[in-house]
Amino acid sequence: MNHAHLHGALPRAIGRIEAIRAELARIRMDRAPQAAATPSACFADVLAGAVGACADAGRRGAAGPGRFDDIVRAAADRFGLSADLIHAVIRAESDYAPNCTSSAGAMGLMQLMPGTARALGVIDAYDPTQNILGGSRYLREQLDRFGDLSLALAAYNAGPGAVARYDGIPPYRETQAYVRRVLDYLAQRTEGVR
């Protein structure tokens, strides 16, 4: 058995599976009533509304970033990430609402999709510790895979298959806005504006 061949084939297979899942999700979302109302809507555009709804919920009910500082620092140390980056992703994803669920099914602070959560070993995606550790691990994987923060963020949002398919940030409005939003939040945190 040629293990080197299998090692190279596995990432390609995973990327293809993610691309198929994203396409199926796009088709399902295109058939949804809100997508039918706007013919140009795609999965990423519908997801933008879902993320906004979670952010609104976060502003109403979350205690804010300080509540999760210890977990974020532990995840940052464990996965070699900046705590400010993890906070920026959490703010963009859920605005610190640990019980948030998007209409697409993404869960918790870092908005993990059910399949992603399972693959990361997250049993309870609404548990802040599990969610932040899982989301941080996934972000680290994307950084390792793409070697660029903007591409890693795009992969976190749209899936690594989409980034690989477009060989860059996918042309999805939501994903492009998401990358800018996280980078803006990161800049605010690193400049001391919180």
Catalytic residues: 93
d(CA 140, CA 193): 25
Distances, alpha carbon 72 to alpha carbons 127, 132, 142, 176, 191, in Å: 13, 7, 18, 25, 18
Residue type, 68: F
Return the closest-CA partner of residue 66 out of 96, 93, 88. Answer: 96
Six token digits for residue 82? 């900046």
Closest to 106 measured CA to CA, from 82, 122, 83? 122
